[in-house]
Every structure is written in C-alpha cells, then in structure tokens.
Amino acid sequence: MKFLLFIALLFVLYVIAKRAFASGGGMNIADAAKLLDVAPDANPAQILEAHKRLIAKVHPDAGGTSQLAAQVNQARDTLLRNISSR
C-alpha cells in the first residue's frame, strides 16, 4: 500500500513538473511553490524544510528519477531567489 502511494506521489510530482516546463521557460514562483507544497511567500526555513522532505522521496537513490530531483531543486532555487529579490 505504501509503495502504491509513493508511486502515485511520484506521478503527481512528475505531472506538476512537466506542466511547469511546458512553456519552455524556467519555473515560475507559483509552480515552484505548488511543487514544494509551500506558500509562494514562504520563508527560507519553510522552503528548505519542504525541499528536504520532498527530495528524500524523489531522489534517485530513493527510487525517484534524476529529472524529478532536478525539478525539486529548481523549485527550491526559484523560491529562494524570489526571497532575495523582495
């Protein structure tokens, strides 16, 4: 049962990430926040905690893919860059 939930989570994250990159551009703040499941105006601690939790699930060593892990990392970077530009 847990395995099926994990596979479903990976699929949902894949679909979200694929839509984020469908325009050919980088990830926007709303998509990054949705992928990490945080508010668009989340503080750095919230962003890093959400990233840590999610990357542990989608990392290639944990059964995820390198593409998905890269998208999670890009979401973190996008949100952290947004904070520094506020």
pLDDT at site 79: 94
Residue 61 gets which letter from DSSP? G
57 vs 10: CA distance, rounded Å: 8
68 vs 22: CA distance, rounded Å: 15
pLDDT top residue among 22 and 42: 42
The number of residues making up the chain comes to: 86
What is the residue type of 38? V
What is the pTM (predicted TM-score) of this model? 0.73
5-39: pLDDT as tens digits: 888 788 877 877 776 665 445 789 999 999 999 99
49-84: pLDDT as tens digits: 999 999 999 999 998 899 999 999 999 999 999 887
